[in-house]
Chain A
Amino acid sequence: MKITVCIGSSCHIKGSKQVVEQLQDLIRENNLGDKVELSGVFCMGKCQQGVCVKADDEFHSLSPENVKDFFASSVLTKM
């Protein structure tokens, strides 16, 4: 699975750094390093809905508070 996190200006201010760090930790804790590819992208054109995250081609609007829920419902279930 490929997860892309927007690291553009708006999303950065809304906490993309924390989102990235939490995802990195979660991937490590669940030993998914070889199954999940985490990458960055500049702006998905949906700045109002930041932090913008795509899991494969599915769009998600995250915040540092709901990363765990997202990971449990949209990542772990698909492994």
Chain B
Amino acid sequence: MNNLCADIGWKSINHEGELLCGDHVEIVDRGENSQVIVLADGLGSGVKASILSTLTSKIISTMMAEGMKLEECVSTIAATLPICSVRGVAYSTFTIIHIIENSTVEIIQYDNPKVIFLRNYETYEYPMTELTIDNKKIFKSVINLQEDDIMIAMSDGCPHAGIGLAFNFGWKEEDIAEFVRGLAAAGYTAKTLATMLVDQCDKEYGYRPGDDATACIVKVRKREPMNILFGPPRNRDDADRMMSLFFSKNGKHIICGGTTSSIAAKYLGKTVKASLDFQGSDVPPIAEIEGVDLVTEGVITISKVIEYAKDALDKNELYEKWSFQRDGASLICRMLFEEATDISFYVGRAVNPAHQNPDLPISYSIKMNLVEELSECLQKMGKKIKVSYF
């Protein structure tokens, strides 16, 4: 095992007027450090396309996750996919990105636009082997991964964006590569990159997409541990134990909560300097403790983080807020969603008597729910989460 990990994110837009997307992305974990990602594009759009792409991606990812040989999976799916009676071609095209132990990737491509591979932020022309399985031409590549490798898998809705509108021949592959290259260096997450790419496609279509368009981006990055302290321990005698565990860990340290930050400051022999700058936000200002990367208020800030996290997993419309603003919640979002890969929570279970007022939305049970909700969201983002209670 190395210290790399894969950050995976995708986004789809539907053909104008369709409720369902004819593209489908399926991600299945195979153990801790291997994943199978399948992007399938069902021919046409709407219900028929959606069912077929879902079927295709589910079958392939399930079979591969069970450890079947790639050729076998492809041959099964190739044999299963019906040839459309009207068009005379196979119903669903697919791209498989199989990450093995975070060190090697197998890319299997069948009729989708070619996967764009960026290495050191330059387009990398990787070797491909042509296989013929059941009369279908399939391209296979095996590549050793490096830090900062970026793979961009797309359905043909992306390169076809803007045909007859912005571009005569659609959005060319090298221009898409250039677009992502410019953004990738800024350190955005895979999800944000995919969102920006697909939003751009939507724009090229004049916001009336003539096809389903999907981009799935895989970013190979270093593991980045992050530690969060949230709430004072139930028994104050445990404070020193909690602090020494928290501060002894590698990675950045975030402290959320007023009382919590005073306990931490006392442990470090430093003072808490709270600012009064609200940064135009409705969450309380941040504070500073020497030796701590970020200090914020607790419950209100974390509630905001959860709101952003839920959106990031769904429509990802608020990233323009949290990726630029400087309030406590946005800063936490950037550290957790973008920087971190392994997050440890140190949660104190003290009950603040002042919070046990039915008029205040910050009771003890709500606090504990927040931690659960947030770790669930972060897990869905592909982060490794550890929670310890004190």
Contact = CB atoms under 8 A, between A and B. Distances in A.
A9 B258 contact: yes
A54 to B, nearest CB: 13
Interface in B258-299: 258-259, 261-262, 272, 274-276, 278, 282-285, 287, 295, 297-299
Contacts, number: 73
Interface residues of A, number: 22
A17 B275 CA distance: 12
Contacts of A43: 258-259, 262
Interface residues of B, number: 28
Interface in A1-55: 5-10, 12-13, 16-17, 20, 24, 38-43, 45, 47-48, 50
Given A13-B300, A13-B360, A40 B355 contact: no
B361 A13 contact: yes
A43 B232 CA distance: 13
B276 A9 contact: no
A34 B275 CA distance: 18
Contact of A17 (B261, B278, B298, B362): B278
Given A8-B297, A9-B297, A12-B297, A42 B274 contact: yes
Interface of B: 257-259, 261-262, 272, 274-276, 278, 282-285, 287, 295, 297-300, 352-355, 357, 360-362
26 contacts: A5-B276, A6-B258, A7-B276, A7-B285, A8-B258, A9-B258, A9-B298, A9-B355, A9-B362, A10-B354, A10-B355, A10-B362, A12-B300, A13-B300, A20-B276, A24-B276, A39-B276, A40-B274, A40-B287, A42-B257, A42-B258, A42-B261, A43-B259, A43-B262, A48-B354, A48-B357
